[in-house]
């Protein structure tokens, strides 16, 4: 018996150890994409590239989401050295069950906010509270609502909430003009264009509502997704079309007057080794610039499509978490790996990338929660990002170098907006902060 074991051991070949550098399997999986239609980000060495920024403008308002071009101040004026000038409570901040997702809007000398539940606030640009009111529907429980969005149009403020209601308020007083219940969560931001309000409900239906009386004009539906992210992107609207982004990763363009479908496109991709990649929701706010629509997801994919036909222009294997910022031949975004990227708007080629704080606890066994980064926006010749780690960061758009850091007590819960040469952001503690 012993002899047999010795014979077998003598016959066993020695293990062959291959030469070369050892790579962790997770580093390979993190760059893989399962969809053949998703390309890897073009590999070039990072470096500065000149950019001719548009002239800075003195915008007094920031009334709606930046996705629709007519409401976007591409390059507002803002001082390079910012200082906090005031802060005020707007209601409930982030908690385990509730989140602030509505970016503030500025119109008519007022800054409007929505807290983590259903409380809307109007604050003067000097920091004084004008009014506050809840838009909670009769019989509803405030604890069941989270998420929503805001859009200002003249003397009216429009509010969507996670309980499925869209409400029109008098901007001066907060008095309710009308309320429309859609029977599906409307946690995303609405868009107002001419006489219509457009919004995504339940991450699977797009709605057009008469802005004067709240009556539904038409509705479009897509297949529901099994999971999605709180806060649907605002629809993009132009003269002919409205473009909705859904939880399934689908973009659908329809004729904005009647809702007839024009084209469909999908933001597909899955970054292996990341649990969040299983959620294919469009998280990068779609935005239109010069006839091209840019959109991204948190699963490792950003696309550019022709706005009139939906034809794919390019795809890169970098997801987009918040705003996508196309400007002067470049596209700036925060990737699904928490990296500030500058890409070529022509073909998606990477120009440079700068790492942002990622895991809240960086020990390998504690890597669960990540920091949230909101933006980017362009203001004062700088690219700005507000982050949940408690800082507003300013970057050089040419090199990507960090040129300024400003404290946000409690960390940011929304993207920053700029109006009247003042930057506004809402903190996770439920504070509206102004910097000038």
Please report the pLDDT score of residue 282 as a whole number: 81
Q: Are 325 and 310 in contact (CB under 8 A)?
A: no
16 is written with which tokens? 């062959």
Burial class (CB in 10 A: 0-12, 13-18, 19+), 344: middle
DSSP state of 129: E
Please report the pLDDT score of residue 21 as a whole number: 60
CA distance 263 to 311: 9
> Can you say whether residue 276 is alpha, beta or left, with left for phi > 0 and alpha for psi between -120 and 50 degrees?
alpha
CA distance 26 to 192: 44
Q: How far is CA 248 from CA 188, 222, 282, 325, in A?
A: 15, 8, 8, 23
Q: How far is CA 28 from CA 23, 335, 361, 400, in A?
A: 8, 18, 23, 26
Q: Are 187 and 147 in contact (CB under 8 A)?
A: yes
CATH 3.40.47.10 fits 32-435, yes or no: no
Q: Which of 306, 226, 313, 212 is nearest to 263 (CA)?
A: 306
User: pLDDT by residue for the chain (436 residues), tens digit each?
Assistant: 544 444 444 455 555 665 666 655 444 444 444 343 444 444 456 888 999 999 999 999 999 999 999 999 999 999 999 999 999 999 999 988 889 999 999 999 999 999 998 899 999 999 999 999 999 877 677 777 777 899 999 999 999 998 889 999 999 999 999 999 988 777 789 999 999 999 998 768 899 999 999 999 999 998 776 555 556 789 999 889 999 998 888 899 999 999 999 999 988 776 665 555 556 678 778 999 999 999 998 888 999 999 999 999 999 999 898 999 999 999 999 998 999 999 999 999 999 999 999 887 776 666 667 899 999 999 999 999 999 999 999 999 999 999 999 999 999 999 999 999 999 999 999 999 999 9
Please report the pLDDT score of residue 23 as a whole number: 57
CA distance 426 to 432: 5
DSSP state of 29: H
CA distance 339 to 401: 13
Please report the pLDDT score of residue 223 as a whole number: 75
Three-state SS string across 136-204, please? CCCCCCHHHCCCEEEEEECCEEEEEECCCEEEEEECCCCCEEEEEECCCCCCCCCEEECCEEEEEECCC
Please report the pLDDT score of residue 26 as a whole number: 47
Please report the pLDDT score of residue 277 as a whole number: 54
Q: Are 64 and 234 in contact (CB under 8 A)?
A: yes
What is the CA angle 199-203-206, rounded to 5? 35
Please report the pLDDT score of residue 279 as a whole number: 62
Q: Where do the structural domains in the chain lie, given as residue ranges?
A: 32-435
In which residue are the tokens 């920024």 written?
53
| Torsion sign over Cα 270, 271, 272, 276 | negative
Please report the pLDDT score of residue 34 as a whole number: 39
CA distance 412 to 410: 7
CA distance 384 to 416: 8
Please report the pLDDT score of residue 273 as a whole number: 54
Helices (H) and strands (E) in the chain, counts: 2, 32
List, for residues 26-71, the tens digit of each pLDDT value.
444 444 443 434 444 444 568 889 999 999 999 999 999 999 999 9
- Report the side by side order of strands in the sheet with 236-237: 236-237, 241-245, 250-255, 261-266
For residue 325, which phi and psi values (nearest 5 degrees)?
-120, 95
Burial code (b: 16+ CB inside 10 Å, e: under 16) for 366-396 equals eeeebbbbbbbbbbbbbbbbbbbebbbbbbb
* Residue 214 CB neighbours (<10 A): 17
Please report the pLDDT score of residue 283 as a whole number: 79
Please report the pLDDT score of residue 368 as a whole number: 66
């Amino acid at each position: 018996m012993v002899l047999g074991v010795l014979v077998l051991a003598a016959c066993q070949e020695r293990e062959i150890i291959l030469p070369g550098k050892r790579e962790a399997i997770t580093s390979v999986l993190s760059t893989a994409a399962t969809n053949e239609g998703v390309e890897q980000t073009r590999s070039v060495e990072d470096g500065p590239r000149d950019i001719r920024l548009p002239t800075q403008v003195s915008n007094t308002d920031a009334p709606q989401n930046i996705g629709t071009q007519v409401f976007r101040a591409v390059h507002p004026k803002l001082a390079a050295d910012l200082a906090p000038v005031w802060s005020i409570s707007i209601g409930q901040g982030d908690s385990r069950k509730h989140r602030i997702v509505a970016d503030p809007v500025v119109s008519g000398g007022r800054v409007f906010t929505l807290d983590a539940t259903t409380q809307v606030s109007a604050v003067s640009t000097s920091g004084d509270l004008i009014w506050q009111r809840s838009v909670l529907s009769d019989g509803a429980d405030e604890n069941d609502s989270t998420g929503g969005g805001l859009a200002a149009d003249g003397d009216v403020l429009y509010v969507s909430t996670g309980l499925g209601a869209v409400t029109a308020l008098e901007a001066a007083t907060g008095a309710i003009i009308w309320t429309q219940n859609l029977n599906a969560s409307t946690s995303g931001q609405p868009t107002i264009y001419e006489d219509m309000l457009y919004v995504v409900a339940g991450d699977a239906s797009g709605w057009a509502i008469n802005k004067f009386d709240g009556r539904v004009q038409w509705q479009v539906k897509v297949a529901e997704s099994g999971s999605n992210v709180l806060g649907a992107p605002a629809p993009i609207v132009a003269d002919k079309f409205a473009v909705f982004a859904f939880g399934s990763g689908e973009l659908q363009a329809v004729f904005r007057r009647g809702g007839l479908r024009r084209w469909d496109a999908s933001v597909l991709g899955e970054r292996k080794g990341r649990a969040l990649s299983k959620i294919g929701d469009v998280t990068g706010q779609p935005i239109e610039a010069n006839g091209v629509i840019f959109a991204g997801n948190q699963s490792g994919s950003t696309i550019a499509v022709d706005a009139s036909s939906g034809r794919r222009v390019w795809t890169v294997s970098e997801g987009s978490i918040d705003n996508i910022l196309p400007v002067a031949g470049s596209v700036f975004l925060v990737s699904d790996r928490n990296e500030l990227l500058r890409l070529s708007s022509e073909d998606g080629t990477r120009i440079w990338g700068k790492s942002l704080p990622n895991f809240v606890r960086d020990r390998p066994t504690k890597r669960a929660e990540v920091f949230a980064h909101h933006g980017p926006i362009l203001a004062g010749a700088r690219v700005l990002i507000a982050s949940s780690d408690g800082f507003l960061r300013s970057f050089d758009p040419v090199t990507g170098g960090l040129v300024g850091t400003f404290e946000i007590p409690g960390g940011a819960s929304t993207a920053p907006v700029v109006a009247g040469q003042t930057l506004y952001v809402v903190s996770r503690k439920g504070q509206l902060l102004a910097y000038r």
